Amino acid sequence: MALGRREFVGTTAFAFAGLSSTAGIAQERGQYSDPVLDAIVADFRELRREGDDKPGQRRGAVRAAETLTGVLAAHLSKHYDPDLKRTIRQQLQRKGRQALVQEIATTANKPEITHEAVDAMLTRLERDGMGGVLREVQQRIKRLRDNLPPDYLQARSTVQFDFCADLRWIIELTEVGMLIACGISIGMLGTNPAADAACAAATVALAMYLAMKMWYGC
């Protein structure tokens, strides 16, 4: 059964700690629901299982992940991003930009999640929403897929096209977006549908991209 957005909010502590699972603890579904988002979440989870269990089908799973990322981006842009942008602006006005950046970076507690990265992502989210961020990710996955090596050994040895560097960029961008969306969602106790949806979306997408990283030995 697909996790609802409240359930993702409940598992985000795992995400902040290292994304060991996107579906660790099932909690009671909240008062609002989005069957389309839940279906996309379920599809991402199924793709990960397929890639984990059937190495010969990983190229197809990456192709499907590209398409599904685009579907997710379009859904967020249409239904949630206006409210997410408004919420981010309110957070910036209430806390101040420097304090909000510091809060998110401290919560992440990872050296690669710098203040500069958080600040840049706040600007992206305020301007483009989570859908805009994921559209950019989709474009990078397409470039990655067009050059997808037949196995992880070639991925690690290719000099002309740094497959693993592109994948790391995708992961880092999605992770910072997730940290901000989930931080806002948790801070508002799961009462903001836009932040909850962005948190759920970024969490499940990031889990997929981390699986791809593992598949290809990056």
Cβ neighbours, 10 Å, residue 142: 16
Question: In this predicted structure, what is the pLDDT of residue 81?
Answer: 97
CA angle 37, 167, 39 (to 5 degrees): 15
pTM assigned to the model: 0.83
Going 125 to 129 to 133 to 139, the CA torsion angle's sign is negative
Spatial CB neighbours of 194, under 8 Å, sequence gap ≥ 6: 80, 81, 82, 83, 84, 87
CB-CB neighbours of 175 under 10 Å: 24
Could you state, in chain order, the average pLDDT of each consecutive group of 10 residues for the chain (218 residues)?
Answer: 41 39 33 86 95 91 95 97 96 94 89 92 96 96 78 48 84 95 88 93 96 89
Rounded to an integer, what distance in angstroms lies between the CA atom of residue 111 and that of residue 70? Answer: 29
- Model pLDDT, residue 159: 40
Per-residue pLDDT, 31 = 52
What pLDDT sits at residue 112?
85
